[in-house]
Amino acid sequence: MLNVARLRLLSELSRRRTIAETARALAYTPSAVSQQLAQLERETGVQLLERVGRGVRLTGDALALVAHADAVFARLEEAEAELTAAQSTLRGRLRVASFQSIVLALAPGALELLAERHPELDVAIAQRDHGPAYDALLSHEFDVIIGEEYPGIPEVVRDGVDRAELLVDPLGLALPAEGRLSRRPRRLAELRDAPWVLDPADTPTGAWGRAQCRGAGFEPIVRFESTDPLLHAHVVRMGQAVGFLPALLGEPHLAGTQLVSLPGEPHRVLYTAVRSGRAGHPAVRAFRSALVDALAARHPAAPVWSAALAE
């Protein structure tokens, strides 16, 4: 019988590509990972790894074994979900990774609903960027992640993941309510000389924002660069920059700013993602349901938008 823990190491290595990253993800030492994989080779009687420079590469036999192993892990999670569903009380711990605007806008309401409906369910939420969150989901560090997809930057399709759309969230131009930068432009190109606050260029949000400016014919003057949407709203509110903000933030976070619709009314798609084998778990279903209900009950309503800029 093949060892399930060693199969987990091989599966993780197929995603992480290096022994060091696999060890870090699963809290092993690199030498322990190497020893366990060597033992798995002895158990299977086939070569699973081949040296490539200083690293390793999975053989064809190893990749075939990973496919079987991932199917086993999914079935085990399905079995766990069935056992949990048979219990009268939902209890245990649900680990969630999210980005900041969801934590600000929806998480408190969802957690309040879950506390009423399932008081013995413990939900822990950690803030993670999109890419690392997916890696951690597939490494079983998290049970659910909340992700976002920006227009023109399609999401990578990942095997073994169940994705459910949560919200279509409009994206708009954010201007201060008063001051020298408050005058609403007719076209985005009129802001070519304005200071901007944007996410880093290597993030989907930052790439999308820069693409909007470049599509209008200019390179933005980035005075502030941050992944914190509250900082974006603050520097816009203080009249220090203009930027792009999602409607989901709403009041009070957008107080002191004005939002202007962009040509084509672009939006991001927010979604939850879980491992396919865990999609039917009662805790996952309860969390997804609470998010939807928190969104429906959200107050105050989304901000009022000014008329769209011209193309």
Q: Confirm if 137 and 273 have CB atoms less than 8 A apart.
A: yes
Q: What is the pLDDT of residue 3?
A: 87
Say whether 256 sits in a helix, a strand or coil: coil
Q: Confirm if 217 and 240 have CB atoms less than 8 A apart.
A: no
Q: What is the pLDDT of residue 150?
A: 92
* 156: pLDDT strictly greater than 90: no
Q: What is the pLDDT of residue 102?
A: 85
Q: Confirm if 175 and 258 have CB atoms less than 8 A apart.
A: yes
Mean pLDDT across the chain: 90
Q: What is the CATH number of domain 4-83?
A: 1.10.10.10
Q: What is the pLDDT of residue 139?
A: 86
Domain with CATH 3.40.190.10 in the chain: 89-168+268-296, 170-267
Q: What is the pLDDT of residue 129?
A: 79
Residue 311 pLDDT class (50, 70, 90 cuts)? low
Q: What is the pLDDT of residue 17?
A: 85
Structure tokens at 279: 């999609």
Q: What is the pLDDT of residue 302?
A: 58
Model pLDDT for residues 65-77, shown as the tens digit of each residue: 999 999 999 999 9
Model pLDDT for residues 88-122, shown as the tens digit of each residue: 899 999 999 998 888 888 888 999 999 999 999 99
CATH class of 89-168+268-296: alpha beta
Model pLDDT for residues 26-37, shown as the tens digit of each residue: 888 988 988 999
Residue 126 pLDDT class (50, 70, 90 cuts)? very high
Q: Which amino acid is at 278?
A: R
More confident residue, 219 or 2: 219
Cα–Cα distance measured from residue 142 to residue 239, given in angstroms and rounded to the nearest whole number: 39
Model pLDDT for residues 6-48, shown as the tens digit of each residue: 999 999 898 888 888 888 888 889 889 889 998 989 988 989 8
In CATH, 170-267 is 3.40.190.10 = yes
Cα–Cα distance measured from residue 129 to residue 26, given in angstroms and rounded to the nearest whole number: 19
Q: What is the pLDDT of residue 301?
A: 54
* Cis peptide preceding 252, ω within 30 of 0: yes
Mean pLDDT, to the nearest integer, of 154-171?
88
Q: What is the pLDDT of residue 211?
A: 95
Q: Which amino acid is at 257?
A: T
Please report, rounded to a whole number, the percentage of residues in the chain having pLDDT higher than 70: 96
Cα–Cα distance measured from residue 136 to residue 113, given in angstroms and rounded to the nearest whole number: 26
Model pLDDT for residues 236-260, shown as the tens digit of each residue: 999 999 999 998 888 788 889 999 9
DSSP state, residue 57: E
Domain with CATH 1.10.10.10 in the chain: 4-83
Q: What is the pLDDT of residue 173?
A: 95
* Cis peptide preceding 300, ω within 30 of 0: yes
